Amino acid sequence: MNIAFLGIRGVPARYSGFETAAEEVGRRLVARGHTVTVYCRGRGADATHLGMELVHLPTLRMKVTDTLVHTALSMLHLQRRPPDVAVVFNAANAPLLPLARLRRVPVALHVDGLEWKRAKWGPTGKRYYRGAERLAVRWADALIADARGIQDYYRETFGAASVFIPYGAPILAGAGIELLSQLALAPRRYHLIVARFEPENHVDLMIRGFLRSRSTRPLVVVGSAPYSAKYTEEIHELAASDGRVRLLGGVWDQDLLNALYANASCYLHGHSVGGTNPTLLRAMGAAAPVLAFDVTFNREVLDDTGLFFDSAEALGRLIDDQEGDPDRIAERGRRGQARAAELYDWDDVALGYEQLCADLTASSRRR
């Protein structure tokens, strides 16, 4: 098949779960004999990546235009050489799906999480996303949900079926201890947060919870925010109040990031609206013990391998408890890694995409 991926920033993956999914799935589909085209935002020197063909198109770098402008241009571009099937990421792109129908290209839409719950969107943005969800149900040939909770939402809200295909988890084993020295960190002697600075990811709550603990270990925070200046300022003020908190900003060195996951005493996960989260899977794959914000999506992924908090006070107590029993918490991390290897395997994920694309292609040909 000839398969196109649209609606993402592109590959190599450097930003979010969408890009990681496109890269990990795309490279495997290429290995299985398919042609994969990935539409990328902005200029790029490379025409291929891991066997995938790259098409670089411009966009308007603003919060409300970035995704839609680029996806619209991508849809227009594929009119010239229509693929057998298109995989579009992000429910926000649903109003553009009829452009694919002009060339009778079937579309699978990866709807992601409950984007309209994010604080960065005002009333107009929230209404847009709710409307886009309704159009996704109407105009996509198939919906992809990366979490059972997202499946439940679309079924209960719209009476719509979706295909469950989660993300995969890279399995790491004791990665890069020597890399920690450049940050003056020791293995299993620091706690870790990796998240964009958005209110729904609860970075502020997790820092407050850590500050309530008696821990003498540093809290290492990896992340930044492209659109949340006020929230970022709040996080910087919290960090400045206690020398135990270290803000690293974005870490784009994947080997160093893997080392941070694999050697953390605990990984603190605050994401609450995004379905199955790739950073959580990455922490599980690295056998990092996880303390997670108590929502359906996180419980679905972790089951009994994680511990859960719903307040800063509860998190502070969990941090103190786990530091008091490091062997028990490390065993929980190993069980989390085994769960990730069993349920969140990228090869299985790629097979799920391949089967869905084959079904859509066959159905389109019959029509």
Domains 2-168+345-366 and 177-343 share a fold: yes
Q: Which helix (H) or strand (E) holds 268?
A: strand 266-269
The matching CATH number, chosen from 3.30.450.40, 2.40.30.10, 3.40.50.2000, 3.40.50.1820, for 177-343 is: 3.40.50.2000
pTM for this predicted structure = 0.92
Look-up of token digits 């989660």: 166
Contact yes or no for 66/25 (Cβ under 8 A) = no
Tens-digit pLDDT string for the chain (367 aa)? 999 999 999 999 877 789 999 999 999 999 999 999 999 998 887 899 999 999 999 988 776 788 999 999 999 999 999 999 999 999 999 999 999 989 999 999 999 877 767 777 788 888 999 999 999 999 999 999 999 999 999 999 999 999 999 999 999 876 788 999 999 999 999 999 999 999 999 999 999 999 999 999 999 999 987 667 889 999 999 999 999 999 999 998 989 999 999 999 999 999 998 889 999 999 999 999 999 999 999 999 999 999 999 999 999 999 999 999 999 999 999 999 999 999 999 999 999 999 999 999 998 776 6
Q: Domain residues of the chain, as ranges?
A: 2-168+345-366, 177-343
Fold classified for 2-168+345-366: Rossmann fold (3.40.50)
